[in-house]
Structure 1
């Protein structure tokens, strides 16, 4: 019988410390639940899967951990460089007081020690870390197999597993190609269960990004499911639970217009409010951010538009919005889309919802005619 590694007081305290680091990166965190228990159900053995957005997923994972039921120690596959000294300064490239604080944390070497204690396990990924060298030597496949075997051994020793099936950060705001890790696990671990969470970042509506976490409901994957079927299940679980936020819904509407289009902020705000009301009425299963749910005037919208004006996506004049070419331009590559077109990046979060949103948009003259 497996000795389940239930979380200890010290373990939970360390998780809370990592969670608190999120205050450096998030303006606030809003949580949404698909299960009536308002928890992330995770009996042993469970693999908990999530979408992979950025380095700030680390404190986000700590928040997710606090919602686990029951709370069992985790194994967390982690980039090799995160476990090395000096990671924070290299990764975040912050300035001023934040840089000084991150530098002090780096020098203490507390991050690798802390992450190791809570269950982070350094893994190699293709074309990251030293995987190029391993590939040239013909050793990459053996190394990856060995690391997956270690993950399975950790589950067998009584830990649950956090994993990002995409393997790397998604580049375009939606999901990367789903790797075969989940397919591998369901064949290797007897009676393993799965649950999921989605991280949706709104970088447009606040000075710092707001994080939305949507917690899923438990599900099983049968041994009969082939690799393609497993990939489809994961895409549906992760892609279908992006929260609808002020940032991504404004982005969706702005990208309906061509370069040089102009319209009044007041009418745009009225259309936005009507749109979100229609979404909430027709699709209560979709999770809508509180800043959008409670929207009754154009002030929050004006904040988003002013931010987009600074980034030269729109021009504001005499209470009107003019669409600029940078907003409608489609980059040749979707890599690093957040830097190339922040509006399209946010709109892409809604990829799995587009059929529903398009149907509302096309059927409502109040939305499609500004």
Structure 2
């Protein structure tokens, strides 16, 4: 606070960053600064229009780390087309291969919006992993949704899955990435595409996180997509395709869904974990409550072939990323921390050959 008053927000922020890195020293006006706690380090100062430090007001968010790591823009192309993506690489030397999480945004969002809302870059800086954010342009979909409901965008080596997989492989080839710890996650349309990716590329992704999404193969065009979003029964051929893959899940999955979601019905979360142990229907799963957060019920499931799944039912939650930051769209700060729970689940499940 002394630095903030005497030298401004830039110097104060640098002091917090040095403390987070474990660096010592830095006497300010003859006083040794106190230890910076994680709680204090979450305060980011925003300068007002006038350079008056006395009127500076803090707001609480996760540590703003983008000036520590490297958040860059890239372009990937293949025979299908091209997609831009943003890549966050944490600061420091990477002597050992790091995990990679591929994050697929929802409709109307972009990479920066999704990164701000999920705060996944902050977790990447704290826990040492890379984060990629492929972007869906408006030319591919008027609302910038991933086309999870189109047959050509639901298959390995075709359409948008080939672009997302190509981006993933490009990052693995260009950076020190542990190929056994590559994961995919998404929200809404991005969640539906994450479900497609884990089924189409089980050799590439070790696990998936689906937030407010839908199961792979539940629709084949826009009308069937709208019906699926409302929780309707999938068409016969879609049910046959889903039943054919659900009996033996290919990779672990963690699913988050609000039971007050008016955009994508909760039934889709249940369908996402078809093929895992059906204990989620017996009503005995514990209901978790944390002060200041929404209550949720967490179901831990295991398939007959040994694949794990978790289903987080968030009570009273809308169509939004649980525990997200209000700087991004479609976030629910009152929810459990979906980003942290996904990361925990991912790191517990490296790729099994």
Q: Which TM-score band (shorter chain)?
A: under 0.3
Structure number having the greater strand percentage: 2
Which structure has the higher relative contact order (CA within 8 Å, separation 6+)?
A: 1
TM-score, scaled relative to structure 2: 0.28
Structure number having the greater helix percentage: 1
